[in-house]
Structure 1
Amino acid sequence: MNCKPYFDFDEVDHYYLNISRELLEEMDTKKTKTYLEEKQINWLRQYASDELPDAGVSNELAFAAYVKKAVPAAVFTQIQDIFCDRPHEPGPASGCIPEFRDILLFKKKQQIVGFAKICFTCHKHSISGTDLNTSEFGQSGDYEKLFNILH
């Protein structure tokens, strides 16, 4: 398979926020939100910027109650086969508003080289740190494969 990896990495951190859709909607509709609620809503709703986050992103995610888990090196090949530019079969379109509960930080020699926000419910993503085409990310069953690796 002709697959151009998005990132050259030697470490992957997975961050996950366990929050129900109901609680998120409740926070969204509150007129006055706590600082924590604002941060959580921002992380869950906003797409990644074109620029990579700095090293402080780990602390920000921890503050927003995202739980960090190191991805085992044994699955790096599988991760790289998903996070790459390659031809795909056409997939279904999604119309829901993404809730980015899963965030991946890709690192090389402890420096952030890639950043991915994933919504497994909507099959949407937001990826920064690569010049390759990420618009077809997740096609060909890759969301399901990634979900099974991470969860």
Structure 2
Amino acid sequence: MKRIVLALITLLIATSCKKSATTEPTGDLPFFKFDQVEHYTVPYTKAALDSIIGKEDKTRMEQGLLQIVTGNIPVSTKDTLFIKNMEILGYQKEILDPKLYPEIEHLFSKRDPSKPIQPTCQSGYTDVLVFREKGKFIGSAKISFDCQRHQMIGERYNDADFGQSGEYEALKKLLK
């Protein structure tokens, strides 16, 4: 009799553990822990950028611009010079309203993709989000809305699936 009661208790515990594990939401796993977000936009049209890319003899300013727009700058969270360079190069800067931060945190979170996409072109990154915590640079996300591409630095989780659940469209609406 004791064995039957013990078996029933074990079965009830195992069943309740399975139910709670499957019904509990996992929640967002944010790429960045931040208290400030700066949004930079490139001051050139796509045609002007294409013209600069096609030039043989580029000025230092044009080379610097292309390192950010088409290159891998920044390469780490220690590389903060690119922020000053964006200001020198004429990027338009906007400090985003803290009311937007919960939505930004949600968009920049690890999740399973719901509708896989492939980048549609090789255009440059025209929008840059700089994430800060207590004034310190902790990461950035370079975004190409036209091509649905991104490049992140400082993210806490693998960002390979970013954009696969409609994040580009939602972020574009949020920033414009």
Distance of 2:156 and 2:75 partners within structure 1: 10
1:75 lines up with 2:90 in the alignment: no
Q: CA deviation at 1:48?
A: 4.5
Report 1:29-40 matches (<5 A): 29-40=54-65
* 2:169 aligned residue: 144
CA offset at residue 10 of structure 1? 0.4
Distance of 1:21 and 1:57 partners within structure 2:
21
Q: Which residue of 1 aligns with 2:137?
A: 112
Partner residue, 1:9: 34
Query: What's the offset of the Cα at 1:49?
Result: 4.8
Residue 42 (structure 1) shift? 1.4
- Do the aligned partners of residues 53 and 23 (structure 1) sit closer, same or farther apart at CA in structure 2, a change above 3 Å counting? farther
Between the two proteins, the alignment pairs up a number of residues equal to: 151
How far residue 31 of structure 1 moved from its aligned partner, in angstroms, is 1.5
1:128 aligns with 2:153: yes
Equivalent position to 2:66, from 31, 37, 41: 41
| Higher relative contact order, chain-length normalized (CA < 8 Å, sep 6+) | 1
Task: Give RMSD over aligned pairs.
Answer: 1.6
- Give secondary structure in 2 for the equivalent of 1:80: helix
Pairwise CA distance, 1:104: 0.7
Structure of larger gyration radius: 2
Shift of 1:54: 3.9
Once the two structures are superposed, residues 79-135 of structure 1 have per-residue CA deviations (whole angstroms, 9 ceiling, x without a partner) of 000111111213221241131110011000000111110000010000011231100
User: Which residue, 57, 60, 64 being the options, matches 2:89?
Assistant: 64
Q: SS state of the match for residue 69, structure 2?
A: helix
Counterpart code for 2:125: F
1:98, 1:135 → 2: CA distance?
18
Question: What CA distance in whole angstroms lies between the structure 2 residues aligned with 1:71 and 1:5?
Answer: 18
Q: Match of 2:3?
A: none
Q: Distance in 1 between matches of 2:113 and 2:28?
A: 11
TM-score (norm 1): 0.92
Contact 2:129 2:141 (8 Å CA) reproduced: yes
1 or 2, which has the higher helix percentage? 2
Distance 1:22 1:53 in 2: 32
Q: Please report how far the alpha carbon of residue 11 of structure 1 lies from its aligned counterpart in structure 2 after TM superposition.
A: 0.3
In structure 1, how many angstroms separate the alpha carbons of the residues matched to 2:133 and 2:166?
Answer: 27
Determine the C-alpha separation between the residues in 2 that align with 1:96 and 1:25: 13
Which stretches in structure 2 are left out of the alignment for 5+ residues?
1-24
**Matched residue type, 2:91:** Y
TM-score (norm 2): 0.80
